[in-house]
Amino acid sequence: MLSQPWYHGNITRSTAEDLLSKAARDGSFLLRDSESIQGAYALCVL
């Protein structure tokens, strides 16, 4: 998974929102590590 372009690892929700807003395309997404639950992920979708 580390080599996938949609996986961003240990970034904050705010950083994820910034990245997706720059993509400016409906359906854009990324997966990041959860800030609150160790070993879990957060899916962020525009």
pLDDT of residue 16: 98
* Sequence ranges of the domains in the chain: 7-45
pLDDT by residue (tens digit) across 11-40?
999 999 999 999 999 999 999 999 999 999
Q: What is the pTM of this model?
A: 0.89
Specify whether the CB–CB gap between 20 and 6 falls below 8 A.
Answer: no
CATH of domain 7-45: 3.30.505.10
Which residue's structure tokens are 């994820």?
16
pLDDT of residue 40: 99
Q: How far apart are CA 13 and CA 3, in angstroms?
A: 21
Strands (E), 1-46: 7-9, 29-33, 41-45
